[in-house]
Amino acid sequence: MSESDRVTQSRTQTSGGTAARRLTNTQKRTCAPEQANAPNLRLPCAELDAFVDYLRVEKGLAANSVVSYHRDLKEFVAHLHELGRDLGEVGREEIRSYLILLYRRGLRARSVARHLVSLRNFFRFLVKERGVRTDPTAEVEAPKLGADLPHYLSIEEVDKLLEAHDTSTPAGLRDKAMLELLYATGMRVSELVSLRQDNLDLNLGVLRCLGKGGKERLIPVGKAALRAVESYVQRGRGSFLKKPGAPYLFLNHRGDRLSRVGFWKILRRCGRRAGVVIGLTPHVIRHSFATHLLERGADLRSVQVMLGHSDISSTQIYTHVLMERLKQVYRTHHPRA
């Protein structure tokens, strides 16, 4: 399977939907009120609404995936408005010229491929549900994607990150617990900040995680992470609690659920204190989790389950990381390398 096919599979496959038909009748929003009943497809906010609801309701995509689709398609629609074109008039050359424009804006091949996936699925939906005659993306070739190996941290760098907290403060206890849990489970940052208190069983050492598309998985949690979370719950969380019964495990200073952006800020501060700055993101912690497991003999299928990958091809990239590391060890240490 090619990389572009995996990108397409990872986002969604298109088919018809009742949600789209309901929205056809209601015409939820338009960009220009005077064109709400226009017969053409200019300013197609209603079409975008129908497609977004189809992704959310019928395909069951995660909120972040839906937002990504909507953002990509709004950019394309804005481009069409500048050209004075309708969706029904878009052909293969218009799609190609738009992709070239994205390259000129500085987007990398992987990002351009994502835009093309959004357009493919949108136009397939329009053909099936909204009367557009042809799919202009059908004969457009996806960008060639290189094998970008995921960046990960060494065990020494991870140790520095996990120790770079002042655990005498509630914020330090919380930040340490979040980082320990992120590295111990390989969760996505959106999954981490969405954790509820009853998702983690401290006695059994098991975490119930709700992943992409509402899919639930169970992940074992190591003792170090369990101790850090228990310390935060007992000595730190109460300082953030502004109203009784708050369900989320990790709270901000207003007593609300900590946001993804809030955790990014915490990670950056932690990285500066630990001297681990270059390329540090929550996903790098996830990559480190998977790579360190495989280095120590974990089987690929188990890592796939813990990461929540629906396709094992998404997990296989970590085997390439290990091979590159073996090559580097060989070149460094073999006398005739």
Partners of 201 in the β-ladder = 206
pTM for the whole structure:
0.61
Q: Which residue in the list 81, 283, 301, 327 is annotated as catalytic?
A: 283
Query: Which domains can be identified in the chain, with CATH numbers?
Result: 3-129 (1.10.150.130), 155-333 (1.10.443.10)
Return the exposure string of 201-232: e unless at least 16 CB atoms fall within 10 Å of the residue's CB, then b: eeeeeebebbbbeeeebebebeeebbebbebb
Whether 188 is a known active-site residue: answer yes
Q: What Å distances lie between residue 305 and 9, 146, 302, CA to CA? A: 18, 25, 5
Split the chain (337 residues) into runs of 10 and give each run's mean pLDDT.
Answer: 44 38 36 34 65 87 87 90 81 89 88 92 88 85 72 92 94 97 94 94 92 86 96 95 92 94 94 89 92 87 88 78 69 70
- Strand-by-strand arrangement of the 206-210 sheet: 200-201, 206-210, 216-220
Whether 286 is a known active-site residue: answer yes
Give the closest residue to 102 by CA, choosing from 136, 71, 63, 138: 71
**Which positions ≥6 away from 233 have C-beta within 8 Å?**
197, 249
Type of residue at 269? R
Q: Which residue in the list 59, 115, 212, 287 is annotated as catalytic?
A: 212
Q: Which residue in the list 42, 165, 174, 286 is annotated as catalytic?
A: 286
> At residue 123, what are phi and psi to the nearest 5 degrees?
-70, -35
Q: Which residue in the list 188, 237, 287, 292 is annotated as catalytic?
A: 188
Q: d(Cα 40, Cα 175) in Å, to the nearest integer? A: 53
Whether 283 is a known active-site residue: answer yes
What's CA 111's distance to the chain center, in Å? Answer: 13
Whether 212 is a known active-site residue: answer yes
The total number of residues shown for the chain amounts to 337
Query: What integer pLDDT is reported at residue 29 of this predicted model?
Result: 39
Q: Which residue in the list 115, 124, 174, 309 is annotated as catalytic?
A: 309
